[in-house]
Structure 1
Amino acid sequence: MISAAGACKHSGVRMAKVGYAPSDLDSVPEVDSLLERLGFGAFDRATLASAPGRNDAWTGTTAEGRKVFAKRLRGPEDDVRGRMARLLAFESFAGGDRLGALNHPALLGSDPDAGLVVFECIDGAQNGAELMVDQTFDDALAFAAGQAIGSVHAADPGAAELETEPPSLPAAHLLRGIPEGLFDNISFGQISAWSLMQNDPELIEGVEALLDAERHAEKVPAHCDLRVDQFLVRNGVLYIADWEEFRLADAARDIGGFTGEWLYRSILDIVTTRGEAEGSSTFVDFELTHDLIVSRGVEKLERLRPRIENFWHGYRSVRPNVDPGLRERATAFAGWHALDRLMASASRTARLSGIERAAAGVGRAALLAPSRFATTLGLEETV
């Protein structure tokens, strides 16, 4: 185990989310082979498009005119096997009308040995991250998202064989030392972020307390990797994708994931004029002070809090009976989510900006004192 404090190792960075040429399909013949076995025919190479991510992914039209989305899971063999098993477990679990308000892209076929899955293409859809940035992710969509996730959590798992181990993060042991294999593959920015957290005993204790509370919480079917870029919206209909982390888990993880997305967005907006009168000044790092961060942070959170409130109202409309500690655990997970987004951002840079450090501070505060922040974030005790 290696402490990130004072370390100076560098690795490659992840690409920003922009369109780019798809991975070479000729090097992955299993994709066309699966499409042909499904009766769709091979991909027409002229129609292919892709997007960056940890997996290889292709969207395009097949020889039979079917538009599909194909994905090859990438990573260590055990990791790919686990993600494939969870994804297929979700598809089996989601059959029929069990999940009520949830829409998700239909799985058309899979090849577990090759780590391949093929889904219907939600043609013309926008993802939730785009809508968030464009400021068109509205209260109605947030309410629908809450209903969808609430439907999943309210579903009776019955005899379904679902994974019960919690997701790998947050992990208190990583806040005490990073395995050498991981250390050799992170950026300078991530080293700085890990160092920031590893030198914070209160944060480590807070993560341990959250994980202990999670162990004693009711376990429900849960997405466990909920982010707005997994929301697809077409003609006003919401679909939620990427169920590779699906398992029985604390409902607070999903609620905290959605809440944390908007908390993090509100912090990023401190240095923007989003939602302000035309002609307002844009702030830059060297102008940030503690008082400015606090005042603008409160202002930005108040502007976005209705998204969280409406998600929570939608959630409680289908799952009215929740345990008394859910709001606080969800708030703590929202705080962790802000720290996790910091790590993702740090993977693309050599240093942490002032606003990223502010995000870490706000996430830390929510994680350590969730009872103080739950209502502030929009997770009211009664709805």
Structure 2
Amino acid sequence: MESQSRAARIRFEPADLDRHPEVNALLEHTGLGKFNADTITSPFGRNESWMGTTDQGHQVFVKSFEGPGQQERLQRTLHFGKRALLAGIATPNILAHRENPAIVVFELLDEPLSLLDLFTESADQQQDFDTRWCVEAAQLTADTHRLAVEGFDTSAHPLPPLSPMNALTLPGFLRQSGAELHMWQLLHNDPDVLQAVTAMKEADNPTLGQWVPIHGDLRLDQFLIGHDSLYLTDAEEARLGDPARDIGAFAGEWLYHAINRIPTVLNESQVVGHVPTHEEIVATGAAEVDRFSSRTQAFFSAYLARAEFSESLHHDLAVRAARYAGWHMIDRMISVARQKQILAAVPRAAAGIGRSLLLSPQQFLHTIGLRTPAHAA
């Protein structure tokens, strides 16, 4: 299946299949049978999707692409799936597709668990996250970056979104939540960040020297555990690009979750009624970042060993990845703001750390787990 996996991200009611008769029509046309209605669930996401069992006994995940660029996202998904299959990269099998409307059918893994789910469960149970999965994620990512470039999309990645980061249109302004307006005000008043993300995005082109097939939207919930193996999913943004984007996204995920842990850790470690001091907040954040950085370091070390880039390229790759990790933190603030009326302290703090990474990435390679072998001592 694709990136959703647990009940926490399942809608109370599945998306209405009556509005999408083409879904069951495609399933029946390909011999998979139509969905058994009482088995269907729908994960949250930007696309309409359904997972369940058909009347022929097949477990499937169906995605109907919504919004702009439907055909392009479908074609990127199909091309990655074909290339991954030939290269032995573990990704859910594509069973069928339709181009108009854009629909794709995947084999549904049996009781999948995403790395985000695993992290959440281990945190709830106060257990360490097994870095074995970071190593396996690195190997899948490196194998993706080693695919032949032929056939991959060469268009520019849509992120960072430079247009709204420069200015909002009037219709765009009127659609914003209170948290979004606060967030855009912070970004619009920070020309250094705009300059940094603009330079980062403009550098992502064939002259880079490392322009390879990338996943393009790497997050913990894009990795699924099934049958004790790890699968890479949701490749609708796959294209040629800077490998640092994927590496930085993985690093940024752990960094964001480290910062997100600060209120919980402070609450668990303080007596009732105590108001944490600035020093306690900073110390807690530093300790969490240090604890989580081992996961990024396990990923990055395994990635370098698998990707087979020249050692002379490792340091620059790490620096670029740190910048992308910084952007990932700001992107998380943007995503959170879309769902809120008030921009909370944690996403603002995460974006502040992201700013530091964007502007001075070399200073933080050791801190966030992007040491290269030459600098590991």
* TM-score between both structures, scaled by the size of structure 1: 0.88
User: Residues 122-175 of structure 1, C-alpha deviation per residue, up to 9 Å, x if partnerless?
Assistant: 121111211122236420000100011011112232xx2211122111133322
Question: Does residue 94 of structure 2 align to residue 103 of structure 1?
Answer: no
- Higher helix content, 1 or 2: 2
User: Residues 52-81 of structure 1, C-alpha deviation per residue, up to 9 Å, x if partnerless?
Assistant: 1111111111111111001111113xx112
C-alpha distance in 2, partners of 1:231/1:183? 35
C-alpha distance in 1, partners of 2:276/2:190? 23
**2:269 match:** 280
C-alpha distance in 2, partners of 1:223/1:244? 8
The alpha carbon displacement at 1:196 in A equals 0.8
**2:5 match:** none
If asked which structure has higher relative contact order (CA below 8 Å, sep 6+), I would say 1
The 3 A distance-change label for structure 1 pair 254 and 181 is: farther
| Secondary structure of 1:192's aligned partner | helix
The alpha carbon displacement at 1:325 in A equals 1.4
| Secondary structure of 2:85's aligned partner | coil
CA contact (8 A) 1:48 1:59 kept: yes
**2:148 match:** 156
Equivalences for 1:225-264 in 2 at 5 Å? 225-264=217-256
Q: Which runs of 5+ in 2 are unaligned?
A: 1-7, 123-127
CA contact (8 A) 2:216 2:245 kept: yes
The alpha carbon displacement at 1:288 in A equals 6.1
The alpha carbon displacement at 1:185 in A equals 3.4
C-alpha distance in 2, partners of 1:19/1:281? 36
Question: Does residue 48 of structure 2 align to residue 56 of structure 1?
Answer: yes
CA contact (8 A) 2:330 2:354 kept: yes
Give the residue type in structure 2 aligned to 1:232.
L
Give the residue type in structure 2 aligned to 1:112.
E
Q: Which runs of 5+ in 1 are unaligned?
A: 1-15
C-alpha distance in 1, partners of 2:222/2:171? 29
User: Residues 85-115 of structure 1, C-alpha deviation per residue, up to 9 Å, x if partnerless?
Assistant: 211221232232x2x4x31111001011111
- Higher mean displacement: 109-118 or 320-329: 320-329
C-alpha distance in 1, partners of 2:272/2:248? 28
**2:108 match:** 121
CA contact (8 A) 1:164 1:248 kept: yes
User: Residues 183-207 of structure 1, C-alpha deviation per residue, up to 9 Å, x if partnerless?
Assistant: 3433221221111111101111111
Question: Does residue 317 of structure 2 align to residue 326 of structure 1?
Answer: yes
C-alpha distance in 2, partners of 1:230/1:182? 29
**2:75 match:** 85
C-alpha distance in 2, partners of 1:183/1:111? 36
User: Residues 344-373 of structure 1, C-alpha deviation per residue, up to 9 Å, x if partnerless?
Assistant: 111111111122211111111111111111
CA contact (8 A) 1:105 1:241 kept: yes
CA contact (8 A) 1:288 1:354 kept: no
The 3 A distance-change label for structure 1 pair 292 and 280 is: closer
CA contact (8 A) 2:265 2:284 kept: no
* TM-score between both structures, scaled by the size of structure 2: 0.89
| Secondary structure of 2:218's aligned partner | coil
Question: Does residue 289 of structure 2 align to residue 304 of structure 1?
Answer: no
Question: Does residue 160 of structure 2 align to residue 173 of structure 1?
Answer: no
CA contact (8 A) 2:77 2:235 kept: yes
**1:200 match:** 190
C-alpha distance in 2, partners of 1:375/1:25? 50
CA contact (8 A) 1:293 1:358 kept: no
C-alpha distance in 2, partners of 1:41/1:89? 25
CA contact (8 A) 2:81 2:91 kept: no
Give the residue type in structure 2 aligned to 1:374.
L
C-alpha distance in 1, partners of 2:259/2:148? 37
Q: In the alignment, which of 114, 119, 122 is matched to residue 132 of structure 1?
A: 119
Q: In the alignment, which of 326, 329, 339 is matched to residue 335 of structure 1?
A: 326
C-alpha distance in 1, partners of 2:72/2:120? 32
**1:379 match:** 370
CA contact (8 A) 1:86 1:244 kept: yes
Question: Does residue 132 of structure 2 align to residue 145 of structure 1?
Answer: no
C-alpha distance in 2, partners of 1:315/1:110? 32
C-alpha distance in 1, partners of 2:242/2:59? 36
C-alpha distance in 2, partners of 1:23/1:365? 41
Give the residue type in structure 2 aligned to 1:379.
L
The 3 A distance-change label for structure 1 pair 292 and 173 is: farther
CA contact (8 A) 1:272 1:282 kept: no
C-alpha distance in 2, partners of 1:283/1:88? 54
> C-alpha root-mean-square deviation of aligned residues, in Å?
2.1
- Higher mean displacement: 177-186 or 56-65: 177-186
| Secondary structure of 2:42's aligned partner | coil
The percent identity for this pair of structures is 36
